[in-house]
Chains A and B, each alone.
Chain A
C-alpha cells in the first residue's frame, strides 16, 4: 500500500466515524469504536458497531446509515439529489422539500402520525460538487438532525456507491413524542426503503409496485391516508 493510500484510508475511516457523528456537538471519540477485544479500530462504519440494541446511539443522537450501489454516473446522481425537490419522489416520509432563499436552505415537510406534518429547516453545511452533500437543521428546529450523502465511484462499471448517514435527536415534550413516533416508524427501515426506491428510480426510471391499480399503490394509499386524517383534523 502506498503511503498516500494509507493516509487516505485513515482519513476515510475518520470520515466514516465522523459521518456517524456528523452532528456538531456529538464528539464521537475514537473510544466509541473500541471493541472489547482490543484497541485496533476496524474499517467498518461507526454505526455498524455491535453493542446494546445494535450500538447505534452516539451520545444523545441516534444514527442510521445505509449504502447502495447504483449503476449510474456519480454526477448524475449528485445532481438529482442536489435538486432537493426531487427527494420526495423516493422518500416516503417526506411530503416535500422546498428550497428557501439562495444559500441552500430547505424546508423539509415530514409526514407525522395523525395526519400532521412536521417542518424542519436545514442548511447545507458542506458540499463537494459531484461527491458530497451534508445538511443540518437550523437552530431552534423541532428536530435536531444532521445528514450527509456521499457519492463515490464504484469499481469498474458498477456505477456509484451512494452512502447516506443521518443523525437525529428529537426534543422532549409532546411534540417530541410525536416526532419520536414518526421516526419510530423505524428510520433505519425507512432509510433502507428510500434508498432502494432511489436506486429503482435512477436505474429503471420508475419505482416498482406490485399493485394492480393506481389507487392501490403504497404511495397512493399513504397520500390518501394522510389526506383523510388532515380532513378529519
Chain B
C-alpha cells in the first residue's frame, strides 16, 4: 500500500510499504477514505518528539471502511467508521472508568519502558506516533490495522460526509475535553491560547458549554479571524500585551479559566522562550512552555487551567508560585476520545457543532509531504489539511 512515512526531521515521504493484516482476534483492517494532518504531527515533523523511527507510518486522524475483521471484532465488513487516535482495550482499570488514553494494555510490553522511565507510568498506544506510544502504523495510508476494533471505532451514518465526521478521531473531542477540563460556568470568561484546530474547537465547545465570553490569543490574522467568526474576542500577541489586555478585558479580575492549546513549540519573543528554543534545538528534552507560563499568570485567583496542548519532556521557569499562591487547578491529558465520540456525533448531526469550516486544503495522499510543509510554514492560511488516499 501507499503510506506517508517519516524519514527524519522535516523529511516525510509517501512510500510503498507492506499492507497490514489481521494479527490479533479483536483487530480490524480499515480502508482509509479520509485522513488529516494534525498539529501534533508537526511535533513529529519538527523532530521534538523522541522515539520516531525512519519508515514509521504517521497519521492518527482517520476514517474509512471496514474491509476485514478478526474473530473478536464486533465490526462488519462494509461499515463506515471513524477511528479514535487513542488505542484502548476497554477492559483495564483505566478504560473501565473511561480514562481511555491511560489504557494499560494497548502499548506493547517492550515499548512501555521508555515512558515508564520518563513519566513513572507507561503511556497507552496511539496510532502513527512515537514508539513510546507503541509505534503503531498510522492513518496517513491506504489501510490501517486497528487493534481492539470492538472498543474504538464508531459507525457513522451515510448522510454525513467524511469531512463532517473525520475530526471525531481527535481534534473535536480534544477541543471538547479541553473546555470540559476548564470546568466552565455561566458568566465565565475563558481565554484560549492558540487558534489552531484544537484551540478553535475549544472555543466552539466553551461557547456551547455556556461561557459568557471567550478570548482567543494567537498571532496569525486568518486564524484569529476564524476565532472571531466562532464568537470569540481576539488578542494578537504581536500587537498587544497579552497579560495587560486580559486584565483589562476582564475588569481587573483575570480570566476565570485558561486553555493552553499551544503545547511544546510555542511561539513568542519573550527572553525565556528564546532560551527554550535553544534548549529544545540541542535536544535536552526541554519543552517550550511560554504560552502556559503566560496563562498561569493571567488566570484569576482560584481559577482553572486546562492543558490540551502536547508536552513531552521537562520545563523550567515554571511559575509554580503562581499555581500555589493563587490556588489554581490544572487538568490535562491526552484525550479520552472514546468517552466523547457518541455525544459529539449527535451534536454534529443536530447541527450544534460544525467543524468543516476548519478545512483549508484537500490533497491526494501522494502530495502529503507538501501538506506537511505548508501546514508548518503557512500556518496562517493552511488551517487544516485533509488527505485522500
A213, B93: Cβ atoms closer than 8 Å: no
Which of chain B's residues have a CB closer than 8 A to the CB of A204?
26, 89-92, 105, 148
Q: A206-B25, A206-B26 are known contacts. Are A213 and B20 too (CB-CB below 8 A)?
A: yes
Contact of B137 (CB < 8 Å), options: A192, A199, A208, A210: A210
Nearest A residue to B24 via CB reads A206
Which of chain A's residues have a CB closer than 8 A to the CB of B20?
212-213
| CB-contacts of B71-124 with A (<8 A) | 72, 89-93, 96, 104-113
* Chain B residues touching A, majority SS: loop
Contact of B110 (CB < 8 Å), options: A193, A206, A214, A216: A193
Which of chain A's residues have a CB closer than 8 A to the CB of B136?
210
| CB-contacts of A70-106 with B (<8 A) | 71
Cα-based distance from A111 to B23 in the complex (angstroms): 24
Quick check: is A36 within 8 A (CB to CB) of the other chain? no
Cα-based distance from A203 to B134 in the complex (angstroms): 18
B92, A197: Cβ atoms closer than 8 Å: no
Quick check: is B125 within 8 A (CB to CB) of the other chain? yes
Quick check: is A207 within 8 A (CB to CB) of the other chain? yes
Nearest A residue to B26 via CB reads A206
| CB-contacts of B18-54 with A (<8 A) | 18-21, 23-26
Interface size on B, residues (CB 8 A): 34
Kindly name the residue among A206, A208, A217 whose own CB sees the greatest number of chain B CB atoms within 10 A.
A208
Quick check: is A25 within 8 A (CB to CB) of the other chain? no
B110, A205: Cβ atoms closer than 8 Å: no
A210, B24: Cβ atoms closer than 8 Å: no
User: Chain A 207-224 against B: per-residue CB contact (8 Å), 1 yes, 0 no?
Assistant: 111111110111000000
A210, B92: Cβ atoms closer than 8 Å: no
Which of chain A's residues have a CB closer than 8 A to the CB of B107?
208
**Tier of interface size on chain A:** 20 to 34
A196, B112: Cβ atoms closer than 8 Å: yes
Cα-based distance from A216 to B19 in the complex (angstroms): 12
Q: A193-B109, A199-B105, A208-B105 are known contacts. Are A213 and B21 too (CB-CB below 8 A)?
A: yes
Which of chain B's residues have a CB closer than 8 A to the CB of A210?
108, 111, 125, 134-137
User: Chain A 177-210 against B: per-residue CB contact (8 Å), 1 yes, 0 no?
Assistant: 0000000000001001110110110011111111
Q: A212-B20, A213-B23 are known contacts. Are A69 and B93 too (CB-CB below 8 A)?
A: yes
Which of chain B's residues have a CB closer than 8 A to the CB of A69?
93
B108, A208: Cβ atoms closer than 8 Å: yes
Which of chain A's residues have a CB closer than 8 A to the CB of B24?
206-209
Quick check: is B288 within 8 A (CB to CB) of the other chain? no
Q: How far is the CB of B18 from chain A (nearest CB, A)?
A: 6
Quick check: is B145 within 8 A (CB to CB) of the other chain? yes
| CB-contacts of B263-294 with A (<8 A) | none
Q: How far is the CB of A206 from chain B (nearest CB, A)?
A: 4
Cα-based distance from A37 to B92 in the complex (angstroms): 40
Which of chain B's residues have a CB closer than 8 A to the CB of A217?
23
Kindly name the residue among B18, B26, B93 whose own CB sees the greatest number of chain A CB atoms within 10 A.
B93
Quick check: is B199 within 8 A (CB to CB) of the other chain? no
Quick check: is A8 within 8 A (CB to CB) of the other chain? no
Nearest B residue to A200 via CB reads B105
| CB-contacts of B324-379 with A (<8 A) | none
Cα-based distance from A36 to B264 in the complex (angstroms): 42
Cα-based distance from A208 to B136 in the complex (angstroms): 10
Which of chain B's residues have a CB closer than 8 A to the CB of A194?
109
| CB-contacts of A119-176 with B (<8 A) | 158-159
Besides A193-B110, A209-B24, 9 other A-B contacts (C-beta < 8 A):
A192-B109, A197-B109, A199-B105, A200-B105, A205-B26, A206-B26, A208-B125, A212-B19, A212-B145
Which residues of chain B have a CB within 8 Å of any CB of chain A?
A: 17-21, 23-26, 72, 89-93, 96, 104-113, 125, 134-137, 145, 147-148
Sample (16) of A-B pairs whose CB atoms are under 8 Å apart = A71-B91, A71-B92, A71-B96, A158-B93, A189-B113, A193-B109, A203-B91, A204-B92, A204-B148, A205-B72, A206-B24, A209-B108, A210-B108, A210-B137, A211-B23, A218-B110
Which residues of chain A have a CB within 8 Å of any CB of chain B?
A: 69, 71, 158-159, 189, 192-194, 196-197, 199-200, 203-214, 216-218
User: What are the nearest 9 A-B pairs in CB distance?
Assistant: A196-B109, A206-B24, A193-B109, A212-B20, A210-B136, A204-B89, A200-B105, A203-B91, A210-B134
